[in-house]
């Protein structure tokens, strides 16, 4: 079998052959009337009027020899067979195609549509033109890219040759379009907020840092747009949302990424009860629009978004699974239970909040959902309002699907004095070594002092999409970050 270098050398010779005949292998434009999908859609009418069309696409297959060649074209919308016949195209033009064209090239063909004796919709070429000469071969369509590392590194080839990968990209687009359409239809205004920040806030996460040369200033890549969007609530907008990129310098596993897309919305004069109602509607809308169903098989769980959504009490759920009452348990009690359950954790900066959250995550894996986690302790959520009937808990809700959290929202804390106090508590945690504790954003507290209306906020990331696909989050990114080849 010829090496990649040898195959490339052959194609270079073909490229030079085209140039020697005065043909540009990479022209700026070629004859092109419509997509292949449009041509197939209007096929019968085009055949009836014997209309001459110019179509273009990538050569996916070539078969035949001598006086007739059959070429499969693909342009991203559809495939169509092109027939090149010596007695129609001419010996010289057919010979040029046979001598210089390969699978992977882009070509333009001009001709009329017809149906072959075998019933294949086709175009009979009266002329053809090279649109782009490929210098490297595509993977064999029937084998594709088998190595997972290569599939992700050369994702463009995986998408080109693997229908499942292509479907993932299309569904990902539909997923975010459905999200946007749902919110716009309910009069939420889409906005954009900064990615570079002086203070990384809005979530418990370790940020990426970089240097702003023009200002000679160290800044952070945002871990959430939350505090900016809340400032817009202070500014008087009643409903806002953002779909954008966030960055978290944390571990990588099947559910977590460091560079990903997240949606957050904020809704004035609404609370977490209102939020749970609209979020359930939103998830059903997204699932139906993207996948055409509300029933999913995810990580071994059968999840039906159309079934009644449950309510899971944080303290009661942990007590039921582990027999630990976290409302009374000490740090030592929780750590002892984690060790008993053989749950691993990072001891650096480990504190009561991290211990309780780790214990909850152990319990969470046993819940299939769909449902909402509620009644979370205030020490786990510095940005949510305290419950009206219990100031030790917050009005936070999290979507639970297939053993994981698939979105979080709450009645937003708009008391600047309470907010300043909670930021101060977070600062103590950071000073004790907790790098994921939230930074003290005094500018945000000042904004709250100008007044923010009662507000419900909610957000989810593309992890929801990967769960509905039942695939690792990394595989559901179009171009995931990869190490350089030489490492």
Place of tokens 């064209």: 101
Specify the DSSP class assigned to residue 380.
G
Distances (CA, A) of 405 to 68, 203, 232: 58, 14, 27
More confident residue, 108 or 149: 108
Per-domain boundaries in the chain: 4-132, 159-309+369-476
Q: Identify the pLDDT of residue 83.
A: 98
Residues near 233 by beta carbon (within 8 Å), at least 6 away in sequence: 240, 266, 268, 412, 452, 453, 455
Helix, strand or coil for residue 108? strand
136-140, 257-261, 361-365, 476-480: which range is least confident on average?
136-140
In angstroms, rounded to a whole number, what is the distance separating the alpha carbons of residues 100 and 62?
Answer: 12
Query: Per-residue pLDDT averaged across 305-309, rounded?
Result: 97
In angstroms, rounded to a whole number, what is the distance separating the alpha carbons of residues 337 and 343?
Answer: 9
Reported pTM: 0.89
Q: Identify the pLDDT of residue 486.
A: 64
Instruction: Return the CA Rg of the chain.
Output: 29
> Residue 267's beta-bridge partner residues?
239, 456
In angstroms, rounded to a whole number, what is the distance separating the alpha carbons of residues 19 and 386?
Answer: 73
Same fold, 4-132 and 159-309+369-476: no
Q: Identify the pLDDT of residue 198.
A: 87
Q: What's the pLDDT band for 146 if we cut at 50, 70, 90? A: low
- Token pair, residue 97, equals 């195609």
Q: Identify the pLDDT of residue 142.
A: 42
36-56 in b/e form (b: 16+ CB < 10 A) is beebbeebeebeeeeeebbbb
Q: Each residue of 82-129: pLDDT tens digit? A: 999 999 999 999 999 999 999 999 999 999 999 999 999 999 999 999
Q: What's the pLDDT band for 65 if we cut at 50, 70, 90? A: confident
Query: Per-residue pLDDT averaged across 280-308, rounded?
Result: 97
Q: What's the pLDDT band for 143 if we cut at 50, 70, 90? A: low
Strand order in the sheet with 404-411: 189-190, 239-247, 259-268, 455-461, 404-411, 396-401, 371-374, 310-313
pLDDT cut 90: percent of the chain above it: 79
53 in Cβ contact with 105 (< 8 Å): no
Query: Per-residue pLDDT averaged across 265-277, rounded?
Result: 98
Q: Identify the pLDDT of residue 203.
A: 72
Query: Per-residue pLDDT averaged across 310-331, rounded?
Result: 94
Q: What's the pLDDT band for 149 if we cut at 50, 70, 90? A: confident
Strand order in the sheet with 376-377: 376-377, 390-394, 386-387
Place of tokens 């009662």: 454
In angstroms, rounded to a whole number, what is the distance separating the alpha carbons of residues 62 and 66?
Answer: 12
Highest mean pLDDT among 266-275, 411-420, 430-439 belongs to 266-275
Polymer length in residues for the chain: 487
450, HSE (Cβ side, Cα atoms, 13 Å): 12
Over the chain, what is the mean pLDDT?
93
- The yes/no answer on whether domain 159-309+369-476 falls in CATH 3.30.930.10 is yes
243 in Cβ contact with 175 (< 8 Å): no
407 in Cβ contact with 372 (< 8 Å): no
217 in Cβ contact with 211 (< 8 Å): yes
More confident residue, 384 or 372: 372
Residues near 205 by beta carbon (within 8 Å), at least 6 away in sequence: 223, 224, 248, 249, 250, 436
Query: Is residue 41 predicted with pLDDT exceeding 70?
Result: yes
Query: Is residue 140 predicted with pLDDT exceeding 80?
Result: no
Q: Which fold has domain 4-132?
A: OB fold (Dihydrolipoamide Acetyltransferase, E2P) (2.40.50)
Q: What's the pLDDT band for 446 if we cut at 50, 70, 90? A: very high
Q: Identify the pLDDT of residue 145.
A: 62
Q: Each residue of 180-227: pLDDT tens digit? A: 999 999 999 999 999 998 887 777 778 899 999 999 999 999 999 999
Q: Each residue of 363-374: pLDDT tens digit? A: 999 999 999 999
Query: Is residue 473 predicted with pLDDT exceeding 50?
Result: yes
Query: Per-residue pLDDT averaged across 443-448, rounded?
Result: 92
Query: Is residue 147 predicted with pLDDT exceeding 90?
Result: no
57-61, 300-304, 424-428: which range is least confident on average?
424-428
Question: What helix, strand, coil percent values describe the chain, rounded to 5?
Answer: 35, 25, 35
358 in Cβ contact with 364 (< 8 Å): no
């Amino acid at each position: 079998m010829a090496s990649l270098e040898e195959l490339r050398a052959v194609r270079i010779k073909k490229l030079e052959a085209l140039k020697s005949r005065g043909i540009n292998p990479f022209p700026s434009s070629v004859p092109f009337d419509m997509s292949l999908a449009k041509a197939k859609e209007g096929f019968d009418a085009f055949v009836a009027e014997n209309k001459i069309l110019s179509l273009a696409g990538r050569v996916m297959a070539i078969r035949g020899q001598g006086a007739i060649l059959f070429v499969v074209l693909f342009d991203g919308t559809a495939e169509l067979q092109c027939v090149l016949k010596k007695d129609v195209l001419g010996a010289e033009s057919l010979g040029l195609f046979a001598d210089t064209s390969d699978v992977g090239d882009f070509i333009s063909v001009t001709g009329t549509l017809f149906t072959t004796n075998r019933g294949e919709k086709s175009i009979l070429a009266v002329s053809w033109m090279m649109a782009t000469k490929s210098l490297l071969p595509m993977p064999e369509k029937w084998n594709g890219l088998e190595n997972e590392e290569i599939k992700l590194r050369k994702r463009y080839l995986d998408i080109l040759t693997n229908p499942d990968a292509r479907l993932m990209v299309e569904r990902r687009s539909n997923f975010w379009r459905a999200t946007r359409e749902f919110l716009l239809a309910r009069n939420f205004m889409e906005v954009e907020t900064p990615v570079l920040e002086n203070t990384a806030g809005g979530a418990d996460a370790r940020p990426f840092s970089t240097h702003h040369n023009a200002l000679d200033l160290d800044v952070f890549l945002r871990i959430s747009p939350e505090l900016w969007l809340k400032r817009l609530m202070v500014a008087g907008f009643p409903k806002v949302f953002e779909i954008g990129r966030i960055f978290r310098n944390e571990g990588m596993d099947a559910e977590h990424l460091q560079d990903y897309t997240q949606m957050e919305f904020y809704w004035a004069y609404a609370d977490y009860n209102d939020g749970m109602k609209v979020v359930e509607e939103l998830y059903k809308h997204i699932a139906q629009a993207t996948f055409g169903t509300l029933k999913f098989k995810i990580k071994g769980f059968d999840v039906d978004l159309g079934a009644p959504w449950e309510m899971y009490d944080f303290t009661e759920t942990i007590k039921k699974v582990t027999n630990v009452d976290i409302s009374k348990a000490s740090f030592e009690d929780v750590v002892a239970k984690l060790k008993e359950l053989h749950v691993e954790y990072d001891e650096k900066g480990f504190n009561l909040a991290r211990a309780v959250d780790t214990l909850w995550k152990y319990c969470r894996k046993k819940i299939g959902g769909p449902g909402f986690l509620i009644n979370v302790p205030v020490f786990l959520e510095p940005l949510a309002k305290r419950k009206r009937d219990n100031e030790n808990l917050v009005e936070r809700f999290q979507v639970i699907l297939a053993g994981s959290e698939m979105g979080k929202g709450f009645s937003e804390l708009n008391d600047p004095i309470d907010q300043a106090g909670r930021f101060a508590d977070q600062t103590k945690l950071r000073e004790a070594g907790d790098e994921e504790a939230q930074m003290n954003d005094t500018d945000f507290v000042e904004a709250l002092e100008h007044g923010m209306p009662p507000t419900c906020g909610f957000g989810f990331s593309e992890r929801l999409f990967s769960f509905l696909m039942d695939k690792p989050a990394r595989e559901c990114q179009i171009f995931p970050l990869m190490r350089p080849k030489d490492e």
